[in-house]
Amino acid sequence: MQHLDEGTIHAWLDGALPAPEAAEVAKHAAECATCAAAVAEARGIIAGSARIVSALDDVPGGVIPSGRAPAPTEGTSMWHRLRLTPGRAALAATILLAVGTTLTVRSSSSPAPQANVDSIVSVAAPSAAASAPSRPVESVNHDSTKVLARSTVNAGPPRKANVRIAAPQTQTVAERREVADAAAPRETAKGELAKTRVAEQQVAAGASAMPTPPAAPTTARSNFAQAKALDLRADSVSGFEGCYRVSADSSSGSTEMPRGLPASFALSRPSAQPLAAARRAADARGEASVAPTVWRQLSTTQASVTFAAAASDAQPVSLVLTAGSPVGVASSGDRTTKVRVARSSCPP
């Protein structure tokens, strides 16, 4: 038998030869060293060519230029990653605009949070409280928003003596001054009246910027926003509502109460009652010892109560209350004194 040709060897190795012919080739390759070597070489060539052909399938990563990467815009764009469609973008913009508008309305309508949350309370010395006659609450202005009206309703029935909730109203600074002037005692000294006006203006400066329920509302929507803002603020400070009794803190070594700090007071639900109205109401009842004051919530756990000076030679006193703490810090001028503060039952 002649030596095997290369084509036959490859056909034999590929299994393409008929069985009889394949048997003859196998027998010859086993007997012929030259053909055996050729068969071995053919095996290597077949394996090598197969490896080279398979290399054509190799598409290594990283060598494909970014410009030829499949769908280069997909998965790389921020919009695609966020899956932000024009509709979703419009919705998001609308929400942002609404939130921004609400915040703007709230901030512009209440530059002084104190004005929104401040509430007028009547404070009386124990002796005055016992002798004070019962007076109904005076409502200064009935153009209140629904929220403010609810504040009045929640305040309960007209209080007596040292517990009094002033009705919300919407007076301007000038109107408040007029009311204050009209209600001021005739015997008030001219200088004292001037001081009172200064004090009123200071309070009204904050109150004037508060979201006053307008007599001629701009839009229903703005009213709603204002009412909603007030509603939230009112709810947020309701935890400090109630009556309090103040005494000297013996543990601090002091047995005296700071001057101007009443022995008891009450915090009402926040309202927009200005100082002048409370003073006028108190004066109208003849409660000379009653010192109207304002209070506001500093945080979720603290509130600051400011007692206006009851006399011309006195200074206002501020008292910081801490929720859950029996100790309050009273400040008057540059003096700071710890006092005992306890909740007490409000008189009927």
- Residues binding another protein (CB under 8 A): 5-11, 14, 16, 42, 45-46, 48-50, 52-63, 65-68
Nearer to another protein (CB atom), residue 21 or residue 31: 21
CB of 79 to another protein, least distance (A): 24
SS3 content of the chain, % helix, strand, coil (to 5): 45, 15, 40
CB of 78 to another protein, least distance (A): 22
Nearer to another protein (CB atom), residue 12 or residue 244: 12
CB of 53 to another protein, least distance (A): 5
Nearer to another protein (CB atom), residue 6 or residue 31: 6
CB of 91 to another protein, least distance (A): 38
CB of 33 to another protein, least distance (A): 20
Nearer to another protein (CB atom), residue 54 or residue 219: 54
CB of 23 to another protein, least distance (A): 17
* Cα–Cα separations (whole angstroms), residue 196 to 36, 91, 139, 336: 124, 52, 22, 25
CB of 39 to another protein, least distance (A): 12
CB of 48 to another protein, least distance (A): 4
- Please state the three-class secondary structure of the chain as a single string: CCCCCHHHHHHHHCCCCCHHHHHHHHHHHHHCHHHHHHHHHHHHHHHHHHHHHHHCCCCCCCCCCHHHCCCCCCCCCHHHHHCCCHHHHHHHHHHHHHHHHHHHHHHHHCCCHHHHHCCCECCECHHHHHHCCECCCCCCCCCCCHHHHHHHHHCCCCCECCCCCCCCCCCCHHHHHHHHHHHCCCCCCHHHHHHHHHHHHHHHHHHCCCCCCCCCCCCHHHHHHHHHHHHHHHHHCHHHCEEEEEEECHHHCCCCCCCCCCCEEEECCCCCCCHHHHHHHHHHCCCCCCCCEEEEECCCCEEEEEECCCCCCCCCEEEEEECCCCEEEEEECCEEEEEEEEEECCCC
Nearer to another protein (CB atom), residue 71 or residue 153: 71
Nearer to another protein (CB atom), residue 5 or residue 31: 5
Q: Are 137 and 252 in contact (CB under 8 A)?
A: no
CB of 30 to another protein, least distance (A): 20
According to DSSP, the residues that pair with 303 across neighbouring strands are 297, 321
Nearer to another protein (CB atom), residue 19 or residue 220: 19
Nearer to another protein (CB atom), residue 62 or residue 191: 62
Q: Token pair of 104, please?
A: 């703007």
According to DSSP, the residues that pair with 344 across neighbouring strands are 243
Nearer to another protein (CB atom), residue 65 or residue 191: 65
